[in-house]
Amino acid sequence: MKTAAALHILVKTEAEAKALKDKIEKGADFATLAKKHSMCPSKKQGGDLGEFRKGAMVKPFDQAVFTKDSDEKSVIGPVKTRFGYHLIRVLYTN
């Protein structure tokens, strides 16, 4: 079974997610922004979701994590789910 580890930031609007993504791309620290802006309880850990299995997250989030080729520097999103808009940094998939 495939597994992954990721950080994420969950916000209410696509515009907010895009603004945060722009800040990250300009050098802002992902974990710091997660702690300040995310609505998810994982914000206390800088958005760290730990390791999870394929199928454990809501479908759009799961698809974004397991179908994208990414490195630790790239940010996926905004990804819309029923919870809001996510920015995702995949740490690894295996």
- DSSP line for 16-58: HHHHHHHHHHTT--HHHHHHHH--SGGGGGTTEEEEEETTSS-
Rounded to an integer, the average pLDDT of 13-37 is 97
Q: How far apart are CA 63 and CA 1, in angstroms?
A: 15
State the maximum Cα–Cα separation within the chain, in Å, rounded to a whole number: 35
pLDDT digits (tens, 9 = 90+) for 31-81: 999 999 999 999 999 999 999 999 999 999 999 999 866 555 689 999 999
User: Helices (H) and strands (E) in the chain — how many of each?
Assistant: 3, 4
Report the predicted TM-score, pTM, of the whole model to 2 decimal places.
Answer: 0.93
- The domain made up of 3-93 has a fold known as Chitinase A; domain 3 (3.10.50)
